[in-house]
Amino acid sequence: MTVAVVTGAANGLGQTFALALARARYRVAGFDVAALDETENLVEAAGSELLPVRCDVRDPESVDAAVEAVVREFGALHVVVNNAGIYPPIPFADTTIDDWQRIMRVNLDGPFLVTKAAVPHLRAAGWGRIVNIVSAVVFLGPPELVAYTTSKAGLVGFTRALATELGPDNITVNAIAPGLTHTATAARTTGAHGGFERVRDLQCVPRIEEPEDLVSTLLYVCDKGSGFLTGQTINVDGGSAKH
């Protein structure tokens, strides 16, 4: 059976992704610094099982131990979904070096560390899928998100370069770029100020994006049959950014 890791799986998009993969009969491990009880309960209610792993994606030792726990439990690893991320809206003039480094450590160092720990196991399995969750902001460049946009643009570059390196190993690397999606975190940081409605009005599809709108794309890029798709950034934002 195919084994997948989803980072940032305690809530939001990560929780939706973990549940969707479990429903698609993947064996799923969820990584998060927070408790994964809610995600575990949802997955169990769907008739599947989640391996919850406390993991700080900024910490190499924590990441290495988490990946080893997955392989020890499931015997293999095939799919990595680098979803964990933070996006505090901060005007550029107010952005401190500590703010900048905090965002980069989660949004760029995290995928690097998780992927680096996972790749030997994907190679051992003979195939793999690495999926990096970026953002439509890399095409739009909105205000107050300079650090976040930079981190996600860096993750697009990581996706492209790594796809070139890992293609001969039958490992694909792709990115999915959501628009502003209706999660609890987005509601706290952006939705309270009318952000959902402003973004909706820029879209071709005139409704607010929900986490479930990303599931079909995730399942497509993770599928073993999608071995000829790599190095791509797939924009799933209702048409607000066209490229």
User: Which residues are paired to 27 by β-bridges?
Assistant: 3
Catalytic residue among 26, 87, 148, 220: 148
Question: Does residue 32 contact residue 56 with C-beta atoms inside 8 Å?
Answer: no
The token pair that represents 69 in the structure block: 């726990």
Separation of first and last alpha carbons in the chain: 36
User: Which residues are paired to 173 by β-bridges?
Assistant: 130
The token pair that represents 208 in the structure block: 């607010």
> Which amino acid appears at position 65 of this protein?
A
Residue of 145, 124, 134 whose CA lies nearest to 190:
145
Clarify whether 87 is annotated catalytic. Answer: no
Rg over alpha carbons for the chain, rounded to the nearest Å, is 17
Q: Which residues are catalytic?
A: 148
